[in-house]
Amino acid sequence: MPETLQSSKPTPPCARRDENATIEQLGRARIDPYAWLKDDNWKEVMRDPKQLRPDIRAYLEAENAYTNASLETPTTALQEALFEEMKGRVKEDDSSVPAVDGPWAYYRRFREGGEYPIFGRRPAENAFGKDGVEQVLLDGNEHAKGCDYWDVRKVSHSPDHLLVAFTVDDKGSEFYTLSVREAATGKEVESIQHTYGEFVWGEDSASIYWVARDENARPVAVFCRTLGLGTDALVYREADPGFFIGVQKSQSRKFIFITANDHTTTEWRYLRTDGKDRALTLIAARERGVDYSVVDFDGRFWIRSNRNGAVDFALVSAPHDASNEENWRVEIPHRPGVLLLDVEPFADFIVRMERENGLPRIVVRERDTGAEHAIEFAEQAYALGMSNGYLWDSPWLRFEYSSPSTPAQVFDYNMRTRERVLRKTQVVPSGHAPSDYIVERIDAPASDGAQVPVTMVRHRNTPVDGTAPVLLYGYGAYGITIEAEFRTGRLSLVDRGFIYAIADVRGSMAKGYQWYLDGKLEKKINTFTDFVAAGEHLVNAGYTSRGKIIAMGGSAGGMLMGVAVNLDPSLFGGVIAAVPFVDVLNTMSDETLPLTPPEWPEWGNPLNDELAYDRILAYSPYDQVGLKPYPPMLITGGLTDPRVTYWEPAKWTARLRHEAPEGGPYFLKINMDAGHGGVSGRFASMRETALEYAFAIQCVGPAPPVWTGS
């Protein structure tokens, strides 16, 4: 390390400890010496970050200063190079493929140098041309002026195309303001504060159904706002704090659905949009562990459900006015190992997305004949997405395809003739040759014999002799599967000789719903041991070696990072834990936090279940920090994050320094103007990625890290 850095190496902050901060629960006691980092005023801080207690702010700023001096400043040149590479792979004036709705084609685009999207429309007859006169509905760059953070969650035009509504969060706390404007003039018509961000238009174009948050920031109710009156009528309020409320409209536009869910249990209600009957009707009463979703097709509700042991889901249908189970008709029976992911209806077709052996496919069924055909692809690993846009009485389906080496392609597919029209191929301005990269999907054996899928991409010149560094990404919660899609940013590591790998550990649904069930509650340990097994297999198979793996995950994936590094610290050369959910026992014991009651079905409730308490305590990263040779860690958080609150990464970092002072170093970076998703703006977020990748390169690259000896 250069002498200038040696002579001015910074000293990491040392958080004060309160050894008397005892928590008694279920006849058990534990010490939480850094509990003081949680501001009692946290709800107000979410809405106004200036309300943060001064001593907490001082500590967080000291941590940020240490990270800046020890990591950010010494790697400035590397970060800048990474950023310019990533920026060079992005088409700055990119735009989405227009979606036609009646007389207009709607789209999103960016201007060159713009951080935020512009939402616009042009006449439908010029949907795919360049001649139509554009109407700008929302310019994010203009709307975000003066904001340190800006995020638009949803933009939607009224059925008569005269109005546009959108929801914006300007603090990162996920409290969204819903605004309604005249589409032609931009004049504001209505504004609703502190919403959850989700809404749908009534078919009369004069009403909006929107989701409200309660005092604990949970989506708890749906209201109907009649524009011009400034008042709201309650449509539905949820009594159980463990269920989050949502609202959506059927593709047929005949129904508005009100949904309640807690990850594994759902309940749907509907009301008709024709104005004749405003009554809210229950489709199927909630039943613990029963997950279902509903679409309107062929004069019936088609219900995707795991009821009656259909672990990977079946598809049934029922009359609109008699949707109880005795009236169900099986349309697609349960097929073990074939996970039914999604269903999209059209007037004459119904399309489903399903996954088998880890790979997705699209299956089209004709309404009149029941005949089916699949749209399949040949690569070892790839990602698919589909959309029916605004069109109902149409044979055209839109889908997107990509793989870790293949840029995204958007197709319009005629379900009647099977014609494919390529509407867009993702442009990489600095150049990209898919043949330069090798994509592999392998299985890593877990300790109990389960086979853990691992998807990898590497440059064709990267040797498979144990010398390559690996960035191993994992998540493994809530059934979320990390798709094998194309991400240009990863190429900055891959082109430097890294292998980028994704471990589809249990807790995801990569291998079906049972794969998820086998990675939650009393089986949660499988998520963590699967990740370690994936890393060990990459070593044993000669892809890399111990100490050359950078482990990376965020949110619940950050918990995975904390447990994995406790299980086998020497396997990893570094850890990137983004907004990590690591103070698990304390968070799951605080029912005032926004996500806690809905999370109990995922982790267990340690407030009334001794087994859940002991199980969570046994793996909670914050509670299990010990005197171990931890590798360097980059730990990030957001001050206004309502999902993983800022004090979780802050407390974990403080405890790591105290309990394992010979490990690390530990770098904490708290974004003081953002929440769960990090900074807003497409280029600003690239700079965050550049820091993460610079850290990874420093940990396992050819040169010693700049923090050696600190």
Establish whether 641 is a catalytic residue. yes
Quickly tell me which residue has 């902050």 as its tokens: 13
Catalytic residue among 555, 620, 680, 710: 555
Strands 255-261 and 266-272: antiparallel
| CA 26 vs CA 29, 30, 301, 583, 590: distances in Å | 8, 11, 46, 18, 14
Kindly give the pairing relationship between strand 266-272 and strand 281-284. antiparallel
Q: How far apart are CA 257 and CA 200, in angstroms?
A: 10
Distance CA 546, CA 571 (A): 5
The answer to whether 459 and 444 have CB atoms below 8 angstroms apart is no
Beta strands in 37-102 (DSSP E): 99-101
Is the Cβ–Cβ distance between 229 and 277 less than 8 Å?
no
The residue from 207, 641, 680, 710 that is catalytic is 641
Strands (E), 346-491: 349-356, 359-366, 372-375, 383-387, 396-402, 409-414, 420-425, 437-445, 451-459, 470-474
Active site residue 320: no
Determine which one of 537, 676, 680, 710 is catalytic.
Answer: 676
- Distance, CA of 617 to CA of 589 (rounded, Å): 11
8 Å CB contact between 573 and 549: yes
> Containing H/E element for 257?
strand 255-261
Q: Please tell me the distance from the alpha carbon of residue 419 to that of residue 454, in angstroms, as a whole number.
A: 34
d(CA 679, CA 307): 41
How far apart are the C-alpha atoms of 15 and 653, rounded to whole Å?
9
Supply the DSSP string of 563-622, one letter for each residue.
Answer: HHHHH-GGGEEEEEEES----HHHHHT-TTSTTHHHHHHHH--TTT-HHHHHHHHHH-TT
**Residue 472 contacts residue 574 (beta carbons within 8 Å):** no
- In 3D space, the residue among 338, 537, 500 whose CA is nearest the CA of residue 403 turns out to be 500
3-state secondary structure string across 316-378? EEEECCCCCHHHCEEEECCCCCEEEEEEEECCCEEEEEEEECCEEEEEEEECCCCCEEEECCC
| Residues annotated catalytic, as ranges | 555, 641, 676
